[in-house]
Amino acid sequence: MDTNTITKLITTIAIAAIPIIGAYVSKVILGNKEAVNLIQVLSPLAKDAVVAMQKLGATEFLEGEAKKSGAVKIVNQALTALGFSDADETLIKNAVEKEYALLINELNQAYPQMTAEQEKAQEAAAQQASELAKAQQALADAQARVNALQN
């Protein structure tokens, strides 16, 4: 036999084996209902968690890793509540990253993220507002004393 015939024989066997292997893998996966159910619920849960963390990032400054770990925690809690207590952490992280990659442009337009500088400016404004409120209260107290002394 020449090498061309051997190559054709190996190719033919491989092509014939692919559907058989695929059918076996599908049977095993479909036979495990919990895995199928997990795959069905994981994507929507990951999407909702990513959106929730993006919304949170619009009102307070969060690093990217903090948003990711928060989303993973949300998905993990939801899966536990649904009865999937042994969900693989890597699988959850991958689902969160996938949904983030699919939604990032849309989410950044809908929920612009707060930067560290914006958070500092917001804290400074809140501090100034607090000091102003204290000063106004002190002025009101002083005015009340003046009015009481005049009467």
Alpha helices in 1-151 (DSSP H): 3-31, 33-59, 64-81, 89-110, 116-150
Between 31 and 19, the higher pLDDT residue: 19
Residue-wise pLDDT for 62-90, tens only, equals: 777 888 888 899 898 888 888 877 777 88
Do residues 37 and 110 both lie within one domain? yes
Contact predicate 78/135, CB 8 Å: no
In the chain, the amino acid numbered 67 is: K
pLDDT above 70 for 15? yes
- Whether 38 and 108 map to the same domain: the answer is yes
> Could you give the number of structural domains in the chain?
3
Given this model, what pLDDT does residue 146 score? 83
Are both 108 and 41 inside the same structural domain?
Answer: yes
Are residue 5 and residue 53 in the same domain, yes or no? Answer: no
Report residue 31's pLDDT band, with 50, 70 and 90 as the boundaries. Answer: low
Which residues, other chains included, contact 30 with Cβ-Cβ below 8 Å and sequence gap of 6+?
Answer: 36
* One domain for residues 62 and 123: no
The model scores a pTM over 0.75: no
Quote the domain boundaries for residue 77. 33-114
Backbone Cα Rg of the chain: 30
82 and 149 part of one domain:
no
pLDDT of 30: 61
